Structure 1
Amino acid sequence: MKIVGVAACTVGIAHTYIAQEKLENAGKKAGHEISIETQGTIGTENKLTPQQIQEADIIILAADVKISGRDRFEGKRIIQVATEIAVKSPNKLIEKAEEVVKQKQ
């Protein structure tokens, strides 16, 4: 499964990058391709390409604030959660993404 997403917290520092790391580790551990873009105080990093978004089976938005470029994900399956969920329960979040993708097939 291919997963892409965005992490963005209110301050744009710690939780943004912790959420990215936890999600990427959990996704890889489960055998998925995963890329998480961060939108923090220093701007956007690991910006998702249009190809990555197009090929994605699901989008995970771990965000406490409005993210820029959300329209890029129009028509895709999206799970949106607070960054706290991605930080505290990344494996469960990946399992939830797997369930959503299976249901929609």
Structure 2
Amino acid sequence: MKLVAVVACTSGIAHTYIAKEKLISASKKRGHTIKVETQGTIGIENELTREDIKNADIVIMATDIQTTGNDRFNGKKTMKVPTNVAVKAAGQLIEKIEDEFNKED
């Protein structure tokens, strides 16, 4: 699967970047590609392009705060979770996405 994600914690520092790395690692282990946009204290980094979003099978929103640009994902399958889920259980999150995505096919 091709995944994209937006991560943003309340302080916009540690958990944002930890969640990003955990999602990347878990996705690669399961054979998926992922691009992760962070929205932290220094702004948006690794911003998702229209092409990234268009090609994505699933959008993961691992956020604890209101993020910007969410209208970009209208019409896309989206999984919303708090950042601590991505930090503590990224592998299980990816498995759950696989299960739900495969049910719909």
Normalising by structure 1, report the TM-score: 0.98
The equivalent of 1:38 in structure 2 is 38
Distance 1:50 1:91 in 2: 26
User: Matches of 2:74 and 2:104 in 1, distance apart?
Assistant: 16
Gaps of 5+ in 1: none
Whichever residue aligns with residue 78 of structure 1, its letter is T
Matches within 5 A, 1:1-105: 1-105=1-105
Q: What do residues 14-61 of structure 1 show as CA deviations (whole Å, max 9, x unaligned)? A: 000000000001001110011110000000001001011011010100
Q: Which amino acid aligns with 2:4?
A: V
Deviation above 4 Å: which 4+ runs of structure 1?
none
Residue identity over aligned pairs, in percent, reads: 55
CA RMSD of aligned residues (A): 0.6
Taking structure 2 as the reference length, what is the TM-score of the superposition?
0.98
How many aligned residue pairs are there? 105
The CA distance in 1 between the partners of 2:23 and 2:103, in whole Å, is 21
Report the residue type matching 1:35 in the other structure: K
Q: Distance in 2 between matches of 1:56 and 1:100?
A: 15
